[in-house]
Structure 1
Amino acid sequence: MSATPASLTCTALSFAWPDGTEVFDGLQLTFGPGRTGLIGLNGSGKSTLLQLIAGELTPSEGQVRVVGEVGHLPQTVVFDTGLRVDRALGIAGARAALHAIEAGDVREEHFAAVGDDWDVEERARAALDQLGLEHVGLDRTLGEVSGGECVLLRLAALLLARPDVLLLDEPTNNLDARARRRLYDAVDAWPGVLVVVSHDRELLDRVDRIADLRDGEVAWYGGNFSAYEEALAVEQEAAERTVRAAENDLRRQKRELSEAQEKLARRAQYGRRMNERGSEPRIVMGMRRRAAQEFAGKHRATHENRLSAARKRLDEAVEAVRDDDGIRIELPHTRVRPGRTVLTLRELELRHGSAIGDEFELRGPERVALVGRNGSGKTTLLRTIAGQLEPVSGEAVAHVPLRFLPQRLDVLDDGLTIARNVALAAPTATDNQIRAQLARFLFKGARADQRAGTLSGGERFRASLATLLLAEPAPRLLLDEPTNSLDMASADRLTAALDAYEGALIVASHDMAFLESIGVTRWLRLDG
């Protein structure tokens, strides 16, 4: 890390996707030393902001100024499965040169490749050990490790590079409890600028401040996430009081305007009667009439201005009260008869060594929680049950149709719009049915025509789930880490929908609170 204090500043930052979808317009933002939790609803632009800071995207206007080196852990870590671990860690060149020198090859290029990094292997092993990856050899390939271990390997590479500014995007996705604790320790010990996007409350309770990204602007709150929730609750209570006061004021202004109009109408009627009687000279009556009209106009304008101001105050007060839309999930009405065999696993041996001994049967509307450490084979088992992978031996027999929502959310074609993706999955659905379904998942109007490749992690989950649910209903769902990247409101809606589902469920997750909330009936633990 450099001696100059690290920082990053966004000045008049604007960005829009190629299809015209605007994300930021003139954003002003500065991150200083310490740990910042960047939060916001799915689609608010959190991941896009980190990509702009990391230089992976180019702003349409404005600039990003960074003091120091930047390291970025993206939300979706994609590696070539044939890549070796040392290459993924960024030490393959120095390591190869070091081995060549140890073998007696003293060419100058080897010393240049090593530089001052003579302990590169020891540092790599220490970084892997720090993150609980002591079992992962430097010569292994990434195809031999789990999704969660890939995330940790990417983090280990960043720890080895020692950047001044560390950007973490949903880093606890796919991590088991032990790995999460290791990540928390790394966050606690980080000495520079750290910006973390997460929906993990425990992780967010370890930051120094919260940056709440909403409608293209950031509101700052001192303290961790728990302090933010308390401050927000106080804000919202005050905002709701302001709304009630503004509503009362609006009703009063409407009443006063009505009373003023009635009073003016009575005066006008009196003037007409006096005019008809002719009790005063014509010139005097004309002067009275003009004065009355002028007074009536000013009086009416005053009350209308007060009413307009009251409406504006109410609109501003309502705007300050958060009423964020939540997804509306309606799972298919498919019921599995109690006792009916839904799935049979017989002496199943999976790739990478995991195994289900003897015979396992899933019956009726059971809810199975699939748990285990990273690398134990949860995703491999789900993909085998779904027919995407062949087992090494044994068999997985599905007795009813199923739908599988994978961890990597690769069910969408990035080059197509959300609506087109859904249409391909549900060819019998009408355009109205597709758009009505997408509206329930907050893709309303033109949002349904957004390209899938521009979606955030949480938006991608919503679009994938909408696609899955509009396809032909199935009495069995396989879900792999379904709460990854979901904002807290959407995760609560998903929990409620799964709680009411009458089909069979197999859910792989490290989120124990989520598993307990959906009424799990059996637990299947894999140990690799």
Structure 2
Amino acid sequence: MSIVIKNLSYEHSDKTPLFHQVDLVLNKGEKANLIGANGTGKSTLLKLIATTSLPAIQLGGTAYYLPQINTNQITGQTIQEALQTDKKLQALHRILQGSVEEQDYVDLDDDWQIEENIAQALQYWQLEAKDLTLPMHQLSGGQQMRVYFASIHIHQPDILLLDEPTNHIDQATRQLLFDFLDQYRGTVLLVSHDIELLNRQSLTFEITTQGIQAYKGNYDFYKMQKQEELSSLQHRIDTLSKDLRQVKTDQQKLLQKQQKAVGQHKKAEQKGGLPKIVVNTLKNAAENSSAKSTEVQVEKQQKLQGELWELKDQLEQVKPFHLNFNSSNLHTNKVLFQVKEVNYQYESTADCIWSTPLNLEIRSGERLLIEGVNGSGKSTLLQLLAGKLRPTTGQVERLTPNIVYLDQFYALLDPHKTILEQAQAFNHNLLDEASLKNTLFQYGFRPESWAKPIMQLSGGECLHLTVCCLNLSLASIDVLLLDEPSNNLDIFGLESLYQALKTYQGTIVFVSHDMNLREAIHPNRVIEM
């Protein structure tokens, strides 16, 4: 076995439980996904496997852990430190200069080919041979990620633990990573929202607050199994509902029968055909029998009702949530934006962003992808279109008012408001309180969550609330301006977003490195910045 976890539980410092009694077995050479909603402990579990010596976790070999990397916060680390080769290289250089210190030979660990191995790894990951003492922050985000991948290549660990490895990388690097993992013979456990990567693994583990469920297939297989579970659960609910209706019908018939029997006893008593003692005996026997029958029926009904509520609660937790943006009513090919000789200069820079002013026309029905390297002004253009920035030169004409700008931080939401307060703030159609709360419920927000502050919501919850608020305030959305909207979403939030964008009828202008999002939107025009 490569990874064995038995009965592992974890709680935060404030004693709030994160996950409970996790069991996981991953054999040598197996490659598995670890999926789950935001906040269920995926990253925490990977870190525990990599960095702790808990008796509940057993590893069969050396492990390499690549956490989520914030490329904007890498400071001080050199390339050779990121490659985890600095000690070996320094020891090798001292030995070659004549050192006979025992510690140098211990640090080198007979790895006399370390420089050649580094060169081969850098070449595979398409990194130029650089001075390895250079600081990492001088590299782009994509180059930094390739350095970390090269480190895996160099060390060839038995176990790989990867947390969102496709963040910050371009399509070419992504394909290199896919090919590398396909050829890698060790064990892999990874967390990712990249559906193509998830579909290249042979096992899937889903983590919840209650533990881990294993699925013997890739992500698509997992979805198929979940759909079967959903169908089975729905069938059980339908069967129980039918049984409950029958019990209620039987109970009504029993009540009518009891009332009829009471009426007959009264008639017999009034006629005087039987001695009073006999009438009372019969009456008491009937009442006792009726009471017992009623008690049995009530218990049966309560049991069925309890089971039904429990199953419906399970269904709410496992069924996928479908989002919908209110589509545009505009006919196609209507001019929505005219960008004329536009340029923009930030206060911190000496020059405008673009060497040549922009001229651009966007029409209804278009699905427009904005591409370009970091710093080329993709997000700036979106903010100019949205009216969040005023151009330094030129002008932007917006010919429709129903424009929605969405970024990865869901800035439409006020982090200091509660869920209910946020919905009330967007209730431009003046729904009554009951209708407003029902709308929140339809978007997956139960009454117990309505007082929860926005700042405590996951990315997926922010997405759901944003779409809910937009649909509360706008009868139709003519234009969606999207700036990396899939960042910060778990796989379930991503699926909801992809489906919503596929079905949305309107104009989309977007920036995204997410290939699955691009496929969902299916752009018909691309602008290179």
**Aligning the two structures, in what range does the TM-score lie when normalised by the shorter sequence?**
0.7 to 0.9
Residues of 1 paired with 2:42 and 2:486: CA distance?
20
Which amino acid is 2:491 matched to?
A: D
Match of 2:387 in 1: none
Equivalent residue, structure 1, for 2:369: 369
> Deviations 1:461-487 (Å, cap 9, x if unpaired)?
8799999999xx998846136356442
Q: Describe the superposition over 1:332-367 as per-residue Cα deviations: whole angstroms up to 9, x where unpaired.
A: 99xx9635217835999xx9xxx9664543434675
Distance 2:483 2:216 in 1: 37
Q: Is the 8 A contact 1:70 1:164 kept in 2?
A: yes
Residue 527 of structure 2: SS of its match in structure 1? strand
Contact 1:382 1:478 in 2 (8 A): no
Which residue of the partner structure matches residue 112 of structure 2?
118
Write out per-residue CA displacement over residues 434-462 of structure 1, whole angstroms, 9 at most, x where no aligned residue.
9999999867755875796x876756887
Partner of 1:514: 517
Shift of 1:98: 2.7
Q: 1:240 to 1:134 in 2, by over 3 A?
A: farther
Q: Determine helix, strand or coil for the equivalent of 1:223.
A: coil
- For 1:423 and 1:400, how far apart are their aligned partners in 2? 33
Match in the other structure for 2:339:
341
TM-score (norm 2): 0.74
Distance 1:12 1:114, change over 3 A: closer
- Residues 104-159 of structure 1 deviation map (CA, whole Å, 9 limit, x = unaligned): 56655544433322222222232233334356663443333332333332233344
Give the match for residue 228 of structure 1: 222
Question: C-alpha distance in 2, partners of 1:396/1:219?
Answer: 57
In the TM superposition, 1:146-295 aligns within 5 A as 146-295=140-289
| TM-score, length-scaled by structure 1 | 0.74
Tell me which residue corresponds to 1:74. Answer: 67
Distance 1:464 1:72 in 2: 35
Q: Is the 8 A contact 2:230 2:319 kept in 1?
A: no
Aligned counterpart for 2:527 among listed residues 514, 524, 528: 524
For residue 44 of structure 1, give the secondary structure of its aligned residue in structure 2: coil
| 8 Å Cα contact 2:87/2:107 also seen in 1 | yes
Gap runs ≥5 in structure 1: 388-394, 413-417
Equivalent pairs, count? 489
CA distance in 2, matches of 1:343, 1:25: 59
- 1:451 and 1:104, CA in 2 relative to 1: closer, same or farther beyond 3 A? farther
CA RMSD of aligned residues (A): 4.8
Correspondence 1:22-41 to 2 at 5 A: 22-33=17-28, 34-41=30-37
- The CA deviation at 1:265 is 1.1
Specify the SS of the correspondent of 1:163.
coil
What is the alpha-carbon distance in structure 1 between the residues aligned to residue 124 and residue 193 of structure 2? 23
Aligned match of 2:89: 95
Deviations 1:477-503 (A, max 9, x none): 461363564424544436636985978
* Amino-acid identity (%): 24
Of the candidates 485, 494, 497, which is equivalent to residue 493 of structure 1?
497
Q: Secondary structure at the match of 2:336?
A: coil
How far apart are the structure 2 equivalents of 1:518 and 1:12? Answer: 41
Relative to structure 1, the CA distance from residue 84 to residue 458 in structure 2 (aligned partners, 3 Å threshold; closer, same or farther) is farther
Asked if 1 retains the 8 angstrom alpha-carbon contact of 2:202 and 2:218, the reply is yes
The aligned counterpart of 1:391 is none
Q: Which amino acid aligns with 2:26?
A: F
Contact kept, 8 Å, 2:460 with 2:492, in 1: the verdict is no
Task: Find the partner of 1:479 among 469, 479, 483.
Answer: 483
Structure-1 separation of matches of 2:118 and 2:440: 46
Deviation at 1:248, TM superposition (A): 1.6
Q: Which runs of 5+ in 2 are unaligned?
A: 384-391, 428-435
Q: Shift of the alpha carbon at 1:263?
A: 0.6
Q: Secondary structure at the match of 1:234?
A: helix
Structure 2 partner of 1:415? none
